[in-house]
Amino acid sequence: MPLTDAQMQEIEAARAAEGRTRRPVAPGLEALLFQALPVLDHGFVRVIDYMGDDAAVVQAARVSYGRGTRAVTEDRGLIRYLMRHWHSTPFEMCEIKYHVKLPIFVARQWIRHRTANVNEYSARYSILDREFYIPGPAQLAAQSSSNRQGRGELLQGEEAARVLDLLRQDATQTYDHYAWMLNEDEAGNPVDPGRDGLARELARMNLTLNTYTQWYWKTDLHNLFHFLRLRADPHAQYEIRVYAEAMLQTAEAWVPACTEAFRDYRMGAVTLSSGMLSIVRRMLAGEAVQQAGSGLSKREWRELMETLGREA
Amino acid sequence: MPLTDAQMQEIEAARAAEGRTRRPVAPGLEALLFQALPVLDHGFVRVIDYMGDDAAVVQAARVSYGRGTRAVTEDRGLIRYLMRHWHSTPFEMCEIKYHVKLPIFVARQWIRHRTANVNEYSARYSILDREFYIPGPAQLAAQSSSNRQGRGELLQGEEAARVLDLLRQDATQTYDHYAWMLNEDEAGNPVDPGRDGLARELARMNLTLNTYTQWYWKTDLHNLFHFLRLRADPHAQYEIRVYAEAMLQTAEAWVPACTEAFRDYRMGAVTLSSGMLSIVRRMLAGEAVQQAGSGLSKREWRELMETLGREA
Amino acid sequence: MPLTDAQMQEIEAARAAEGRTRRPVAPGLEALLFQALPVLDHGFVRVIDYMGDDAAVVQAARVSYGRGTRAVTEDRGLIRYLMRHWHSTPFEMCEIKYHVKLPIFVARQWIRHRTANVNEYSARYSILDREFYIPGPAQLAAQSSSNRQGRGELLQGEEAARVLDLLRQDATQTYDHYAWMLNEDEAGNPVDPGRDGLARELARMNLTLNTYTQWYWKTDLHNLFHFLRLRADPHAQYEIRVYAEAMLQTAEAWVPACTEAFRDYRMGAVTLSSGMLSIVRRMLAGEAVQQAGSGLSKREWRELMETLGREA
Amino acid sequence: MPLTDAQMQEIEAARAAEGRTRRPVAPGLEALLFQALPVLDHGFVRVIDYMGDDAAVVQAARVSYGRGTRAVTEDRGLIRYLMRHWHSTPFEMCEIKYHVKLPIFVARQWIRHRTANVNEYSARYSILDREFYIPGPAQLAAQSSSNRQGRGELLQGEEAARVLDLLRQDATQTYDHYAWMLNEDEAGNPVDPGRDGLARELARMNLTLNTYTQWYWKTDLHNLFHFLRLRADPHAQYEIRVYAEAMLQTAEAWVPACTEAFRDYRMGAVTLSSGMLSIVRRMLAGEAVQQAGSGLSKREWRELMETLGREA
């Protein structure tokens, strides 16, 4: 359970306090607002604030004076046109802010996306909680032999058990030593008055990378979609993909027309190089093209056949 | 008057449509929302949307679960601390979106601030309105002789009249030729069916730089303050400064505690170089320091004496 | 001719001054360095500086200690892999700096690409040259009737002549009035000592949008390719496309392997939506798919058939 | 010693290979190029590439055609003027690329600076080395009692010894378990053929935050100075400050005039709020100002008195 009772109460209090606004309101996302969507064993994603909705994208594209009076189908058509033709600036006019709790090694992948605003819980100022990510048995995979960065077969039996033991035991032990080095109780007083306690900014280095951290993360819709395209993808590491999937769900509640267009023209889309396209044209013309003589490398040929749903 | 009746009605309709939200609401800014604040002779600034308030800055700095229950004075103290010590990320957690109508030469200065999202009215797709900025007599200044980019004495009499005539006449004539080249009426039909009309993307090149354009411009509070520090400054060109001043007024309505801190620690602040600081220390110790021997150039010495309110 | 004799001599002097360096050198680009590639009637693009080469992309992807000893074919394969799979960070490790002279309306399109560094010649400080872009007859096109932002048929005979006359005459007249308002000779002294002269920051507003400006523009290879994909595209406006084409030529001289991959996987590539892909698969399986029942809009169907080189 | 013999040889080979270039050359930095400047116990900073020099800043500010012929003192004056008046774009015209080896907890602070390009060694693809940062006794400080994020007194005797033991022992043990879970020898074959080995992307989570990682990091001079102002500051954590100090040394070798201006107007500079400035003016006028009645909080008053070198 990722939240304490006190935290749950703070969230419920925030959810209960409604106000009036002239701004665009996205009812689907209001329903989810502040709620923690659980991710992994102790993590979560929750939407803290948002700006804009589907109509705001249309409004910005038209630089209009009011909310516009066009039919919903016309707005949807414009949104799909903008997405298909890579017009990014109208999507930048919507903004969303998340509070995320996540393991440090996931945070390190995530932060590579630079076009976002971040406030992370500081381990220089504060003491991290005693929580670490331990994978479930269904995630405990061997190194893939075909894909240099992917996962292969699941570990079984004794090896799996031993791995879980090591992860749990090392995280616990290093955390206990972190706490010993700090020598502080919850009120900030020394546990052992005979010792000084190590500075927080130093003691944290003893923690393992599966320790949980948390941050506020804010981005615009264009960059959110870019993040989701890379991280909700089957090739992304499972531990970040589950965060992206929870966020995709919030996007659907927030901007349904934009998210539909994103699914069609980005997530489910494929890019064919000029060489691949010319092969597709030849195949459609009835030619029996082979890899040899195609101009594609074996790897590209295999990727193309997979895309087309044919045997390589 | 910068707005047509139809535009006024669209704005009023948007203002009348209130909804309920769980998000933070800034009452001061709600009162201004969508309204056009007039700037220059035909321009305006209006707030289209916003995200966050003073408390959101505090909440992000603390990575907290709820809205927090601290006293207002404690929040104000934290905001001032963050501003004073250049902590920028909490201020990035608030976002604001403007609709601005402005002369093209002002837009070209403005766009140098890259950390913002922009959707400009497109003169490739659409036809620009017949509106240009003509300075008032109080703005018609000569080139400053002391400051390479500033303004000096006001032009007088015949020269002033001639300048205004030229500006008005050239803008009118080039716009008329633009319209003739386009050869389109409001419905998009040829005015003169015997001619084709030039492509919009070409015809626009005949317009002068005081023609008005408009855009949606969205940025976060940190970058808004950075913009305001440079553009609401007395050294900024008058024609962009009046936009910055209108925006400063919206910031005050939106995030009063942040704006107060910004005024104290940025707008009204001065930076002393290490050399300047050592002179201030010597002066405080009673020494009669002169420019010669101060280690400062004449220019820096003059700047310092001005800062300290003393005769150079 | 875009350059004065004095400028040509400055450029030749810079080209003549060679030095020794331990940095990677791109011989193809050294040959072009500082030279003005002419664009439009008075514009140019010239490379002022660069950092990195094809091998630097590989080196960054591998985070290696030296220049690496792999075969050229292996490096080329890695570069193609990185491009195909949208790994952008290794391409960000190369940087290029241009000096560009261009009409203001082109500069306004260009500046929308925000991930670059820009220093523009300042019309607040300095006086712009008496040079404006006048399209050649082959560029004088009517508004396209099928494409809202494109060009259609060429203007002919009298209308074409009249348009050129207007463009030339308005630019000349507004520039002459700009000069009159400034009232400065080359040495900065008043032409007419009986008048003050208008401040430069004001007088510039009388210029038309085809007046030439110039800037230093610096970006990394990833963002250069992004710019070129949008601006060297047939849908881009001719007047910016010719700049992009000149820059593409400099990229080829600089990083030939990266540019080859860019041509194959970006410029010549097409993106198929999930709906489009499923139609291609059905067609390859021998089905005679029609627009009706395809799930695609008429517009998307037409785009797909064009991509596949088939009649819609 | 942070480098292996093979790495040293790669570096020496790169240093030995000189070429000819027309680009600006910074002789001071050429001398340092590729060399590893040691930082902490196993880390380093080395310059991999650079673009531009002091003259390039001047050239961009003037948008000039050649290298310019002004006197060195005039260039220095312009650079100081640009720095003093916060003109940032000319400094963005220089670029530098580093290869850095650093503990993960330092990398996590560093990466908050988003305006840079980064390629990090991937623990999804590759296996991290068995190297961790262990502080020297002079760094082993207690939590500061006055400053919430700083360091206080040094730990002594038994406690210090125990802390070092724990850090060393936990890092070693978690690394050994990481290696056991991976079950790979240097050639990528299983150490124990009876087991599968855990995927690299999972096993890495068992490492502690003082494990070393490495990356290529590239930024422009303006953003480098921003980084150095924050991280070469006495308030920065020691473990990142030593990196900043090594980089400051490379900046001095590269762009001496810019770095001098940076030291005077940024590093050694202080900012006085409007309230602080008015107190300085009153003190200079001979008034004996006290905190009570000054309008400053106690904390601000103390900060001001410290700045002025007076007792609070």
Using only the alpha carbons of chain C, give its radius of gyration.
Answer: 24
Mean pLDDT computed over D28-40: 97
How many CB atoms sit inside 10 A of residue A59's CB?
A: 27
Query: Could you give the angle at the alpha carbon of C145 between the alpha carbons of C143 and C146, nearest 5°?
Result: 125
D231 Cβ neighbours under 8 A, 6+ residues apart: D110, D240, D241, D243, D244
Report yes or no on A200 lying in a domain. Answer: no
Each residue's pLDDT tens digit, C158-201: 999 999 999 999 999 999 999 999 999 888 889 999 998 999 99
According to DSSP, residue A101 is labeled E
Each residue's pLDDT tens digit, D230-243: 999 998 999 999 99
Q: Which residues of D touch B280 (CB under 8 A)?
A: 280, 284, 308
| Token reading at D192 | 């124990």
Residue D161: which pLDDT band, with cuts at 50, 70 and 90? Answer: very high
Q: How far apart are CA D26 and CA C19, in angstroms?
A: 10
| Residue where a domain stops, chosen among C187, C207, C227 | C207
Report yes or no on D170 lying in a domain. Answer: yes
Parallel/antiparallel/unpaired status of strands A151-154 and B95-103: unpaired
Domain count, chain A: 2
Which whole-number Å values give the CA distances from B241 to A221, B29, B248, C235, in the listed order?
31, 21, 10, 37
C96 Cβ neighbours under 8 A, 6+ residues apart: C47, C49, C50, C51, C218, C219, C220, C221, C224, C250, C251, C254
Interface probe for B, chosen from A65, A118, A125, A255 (most Cβ of B below 10 Å), is A65
Q: How far apart are CA B242 and CA B239, in angstroms?
A: 6
According to DSSP, residue A90 is labeled G
Unique residue bearing structure tokens 């240009």: B132
| Token reading at D69 | 């012929």
Q: How far apart are CA B100 and CA C45, in angstroms?
A: 33
Q: Is the pLDDT of residue A141 over 60?
A: yes
User: Does the ipTM surpass 0.85?
Assistant: yes
| Percent of residues, chain A, with pLDDT higher than 90 | 79
Residues C95 and C180 in one domain: no
**Cβ D265–B273 below 8 Å, yes or no?**
yes
Using an 8 Å Cβ cutoff, are C47 and C248 in contact?
Answer: no
pLDDT score at A150 = 75
Which amino acid, residue A124?
Answer: R
Residues B12 and B118 in one domain: yes
Q: What is the largest CA-CA distance in chain C?
A: 85
Mean pLDDT computed over B239-250: 98
Report yes or no on D312 lying in a domain. Answer: no
Q: How far apart are CA B85 and CA B88, in angstroms?
A: 9
| Kind plus residue range of the DSSP H or E element containing D290 | none
Q: Is the pLDDT of residue B168 over 90?
A: yes
Q: How far apart are CA B248 and CA A193, in angstroms?
A: 52
Active-site entry in C46, C76, C200, C231? C231
| Residue where a domain stops, chosen among C207, C229, C260 | C207
C5 Cβ neighbours under 8 A, 6+ residues apart: none
- Most confident of the ranges A183-197, B201-215, C293-307: B201-215
Residues B113 and B219 in one domain: yes
What SS3 state is found at D219? strand
Q: Is the pLDDT of residue D69 over 70?
A: no
Q: Which residues of D touch A207 (CB under 8 A)?
A: 208-209
Using CA atoms in the order A215, A221, A222, A226, what is the torsion angle rounded to 10 degrees? Answer: 50
Residue D36: which pLDDT band, with cuts at 50, 70 and 90? Answer: very high
Using an 8 Å Cβ cutoff, are D212 and D133 in contact?
Answer: yes
Q: How far apart are CA D79 and CA D257, in angstroms?
A: 7
Active-site entry in B46, B76, B200, B231? B231
Residues A69 and A22 in one domain: yes
Using only the alpha carbons of chain B, give its radius of gyration.
Answer: 24
Residues D199 and D214 in one domain: no
| Token reading at A255 | 């901007």
Residues D40 and D112 in one domain: yes
Which amino acid, residue C110?
Answer: W
Residue D68: which pLDDT band, with cuts at 50, 70 and 90? Answer: low
Active-site entry in A62, A67, A231, A302? A231
Q: How far apart are CA D140 and CA A207, in angstroms?
A: 17
Residues B52 and B199 in one domain: no
Q: How far apart are CA A245 and CA C110, in angstroms?
A: 36
Using an 8 Å Cβ cutoff, are C23 and C59 in contact?
Answer: no
Å between B279 CA and nearest CA of chain D = 10
Task: List residues forming the annotated binding site of D for FAD.
Answer: 89, 112-114, 120, 220-222, 226
Residues A214 and A298 in one domain: no
Q: What are phi and psi of B148, to 5 degrees?
A: -60, -25
Report yes or no on A59 lying in a domain. Answer: yes
Using an 8 Å Cβ cutoff, are A311 and A305 in contact?
Answer: yes
Q: Any CB–CB contact under 8 A between B272 and chain D?
A: yes
Residues B42 and B95 in one domain: yes
Expressed as residue numbers, the domain containing D154 is: 136-208
Report yes or no on A203 lying in a domain. Answer: no
According to DSSP, residue B211 is labeled B
Q: Is C231 annotated as a binding residue?
A: yes
Residue A312: which pLDDT band, with cuts at 50, 70 and 90? Answer: low
Residues 91-120 of C with CB under 8 A from A: 112
Report yes or no on A23 lying in a domain. Answer: yes
Residues D194 and D78 in one domain: no
**Cβ A200–D170 below 8 Å, yes or no?**
no
Residues D129 and D192 in one domain: no
pLDDT score at B176 = 97
D306 Cβ neighbours under 8 A, 6+ residues apart: D312
**CATH number, domain with residue C124:** 3.30.1360.170
Mean pLDDT computed over A215-220: 97
Using an 8 Å Cβ cutoff, are D180 and A166 in contact?
Answer: yes
Interface probe for A, chosen from D147, D208, D217 (most Cβ of A below 10 Å), is D208
Using an 8 Å Cβ cutoff, are D153 and D142 in contact?
Answer: yes
Each residue's pLDDT tens digit, B15-56: 999 999 999 999 999 999 999 999 999 999 999 999 999 999
Catalytic annotation on B231?
Answer: yes
| Kind plus residue range of the DSSP H or E element containing A224 | helix A221-231
Report yes or no on A294 lying in a domain. Answer: yes
Using an 8 Å Cβ cutoff, are A61 and A178 in contact?
Answer: no
Residues B155 and B219 in one domain: no
**Cβ C22–D25 below 8 Å, yes or no?**
no
| Token reading at C286 | 């021998």
| Token reading at B305 | 């004496």
